[in-house]
Amino acid sequence: MKEELEELNNDFPAARFNRRSLIAAATATAALALFRPGNAQVNTNLLITDPTKIQGPLPGKLGSRSRYENPEKKTSDTSSRTPLQDLYGMITPSDLHFERHHGGVPDIDPENYELLIHGMVEKPMVFTLKDLKRFPSVSRIAFIECSGNFRTGKETMTAQEICGLTSQSEWTGVMLSTIFREVGIKPGATWFLAEGSDAAVMTRSIPVRKGLEDGMIAYGQNGEALRPQQGYPARLFLPGWEGNTNVKWIRRIELSDQPFMTREETSKYTEQIKDGKVRQFSFDMDARSIITSPSYPGSVEKGWLEISGLAWSGRGKIERVEVSTDAGKSWHSASLQQPVLDKAHVRFRYLYKWNGDETEIMSRAVDTTGYTQPTLKQLIDARGKDMGGYHLNPVTAWVLKKDGRVLFKPENWRG
């Protein structure tokens, strides 16, 4: 306390009180400010609760959101979704990053954390968290999206409900190529198993090629340690690949010459396509976009409005985003917020003067492979009516109603 006061006195000479008297004084002044007599004339809104007459709270150990802002994830038994409609820019605040796990969030003491790498390697090895952090580190901004990220059904759905299982962070960690080099991968090793230490002991088989290309063991998220919900203290991070392959709380990597055929790559995370076939190992997340503003439950007014949203592709960069304000009849290029990063959410914006007539607005993303985000109908035509629920990335439309309401335009395909 003494030290703290001295510090305060040094750079803030007015603070010749202790904390308590400061706050008491502030409260008294506030009361005075509110009941000051003789203010007959009504002033600007800014003076209704005039903050210039009250000493605010002192600097704190942790920042907090404004008490007027309450963005929240939307939870179910199996996931919680990012409130895309409440966010700006391209980074997802860590506490709003979506969650999807199969056995809850484990509590792992970083002192006891170890990563075992074995199988077809020259040297089977164990790395502590400290070891992992001693290796050269890399940071990369990219999204992670669950491949089950599509809901539809009713007009009153938010962007969060439709596709809130995607979030973006800056991830920091050690490249898998660095670790693989350390253990020495045997020739012929083409797959590795990634295993988590949650109650699901989550496992996925990953081609070694991807690990070497841009796989990472991440321990940092947006400048601090990973959140427990995102895999604390360390997770696999595979840019652009379906969320489930980014195994959280990773405890073991086993190199092999074949996939392991775990439940999450057979019974789950596979999708029915035409002719009764089931597509397996659909790793890449296809290009997608969604307008997050305006969107339900927001509303619009006649005149100029900025249409804004997110676009991303797991196969490369977003080349362009096109916006339609006439239900898909004509399309216009939106502007992309720089930097446009590889396998990352990018913010797009388009200025539109709404004349007050009912219309539909929508966006579609085009990535650097030339892929254009499809409509739901195109997906059904390509995969059949019985198509599975994974890897659905359809164009999402919002209806602007005459009275200014913005409603989702649901399209159902399962009779």
Tell me: does residue 390 bind another protein (CB under 8 A). Answer: no
Q: Which of 9, 139, 156, 333 binds another protein (CB under 8 A)?
A: 139
DSSP, collapsed to helix, strand or coil, labels residue 304 as strand
What Cα–Cα distance (Å) separates residue 267 from each residue in 174, 253, 262, 281, 386?
31, 22, 8, 12, 16
Tell me: does residue 32 bind another protein (CB under 8 A). Answer: no
Site for ligand HEC in 61-90 (CB under 6 A): 78
**How big is the site for another protein, counted in residues (CB under 8 A)?**
69
Q: Which of 130, 134, 209, 263 binds ligand HEC (CB under 6 A)?
A: 263
Closest contact distance (angstroms) between CB of 263 and ligand HEC is: 5
Among the listed ranges 90-98, 251-259, 262-270, 393-401, the one in contact with ligand HEC (CB under 6 A) is 262-270
CA separation for the pair 141, 290 (Å, rounded): 19
Element (H, E) at 254: strand 250-256
Q: Which does 124 bind (CB under 5 to 8 A by kind): another protein, ligand HEC, none?
A: another protein
Q: Which does 175 bind (CB under 5 to 8 A by kind): another protein, ligand HEC, none?
A: another protein
Among the listed ranges 114-122, 263-271, 272-280, 358-366, the one in contact with ligand HEC (CB under 6 A) is 263-271
Q: Which of 131, 155, 360, 411 binds another protein (CB under 8 A)?
A: 131
Within 10 angstroms of residue 338's Cβ, the number of other Cβ atoms is 8
CA separation for the pair 152, 163 (Å, rounded): 9
Which residue carries 């962007």 as its tokens?
Answer: 159
Over the window 160 to 199, marking each residue x when it contacts another protein by CB under 8 A and - when it does not, the resulting string is ---------------x--x--xx----------x-x---x
Closest contact distance (angstroms) between CB of 278 and another protein is: 5
CA nearest neighbour of 236 among 301, 283, 295: 283
CA separation for the pair 120, 187 (Å, rounded): 8
Q: Which of 39, 76, 267, 355 binds ligand HEC (CB under 6 A)?
A: 267
Q: Which does 161 bind (CB under 5 to 8 A by kind): ligand HEC, another protein, none?
A: none
CA separation for the pair 373, 322 (Å, rounded): 10
Over the window 331 to 370, marking each residue x when it contacts another protein by CB under 8 A and - when it does not, the resulting string is --------x-xx------------------------x-xx
**The pairing of beta strand 114-119 with beta strand 99-100:** unpaired
DSSP state, residue 401: -
Q: What is the DSSP string of 210-232?
A: HHHHH-EEEEEETTEEPPGGGTT
Site for another protein in 297-336 (CB under 8 A): 315-316
Residue 276 main-chain phi, psi, to 5 deg: 70, 5
CA nearest neighbour of 162 among 151, 154, 146, 170: 151
Q: Which of 28, 34, 351, 382 binds another protein (CB under 8 A)?
A: 382
CA separation for the pair 302, 71 (Å, rounded): 27
Tell me: does residue 338 bind ligand HEC (CB under 6 A). Answer: no
Q: Is the dihedral of CA 300, 306, 312, 318 positive or negative?
A: positive
Nearer of residues 109 and 403 to another protein, judged by Cβ: 109
Element (H, E) at 168: strand 166-175
> Which structure tokens are listed for 226?
């990973």
Q: Which of 53, 102, 118, 405 binds ligand HEC (CB under 6 A)?
A: 102
CA separation for the pair 302, 337 (Å, rounded): 25
* Chain positions contacting another protein, by CB under 8 A: 102-103, 116-118, 123-128, 131, 134-136, 138-141, 175, 178, 181-182, 193, 195, 199-201, 203, 214, 251-252, 254, 256, 258, 260-263, 266-267, 270, 273, 276-284, 286, 315-316, 339, 341-342, 367, 369-372, 374, 378-379, 381-383
* Chain positions contacting ligand HEC, by CB under 6 A: 78, 102, 263, 267-268
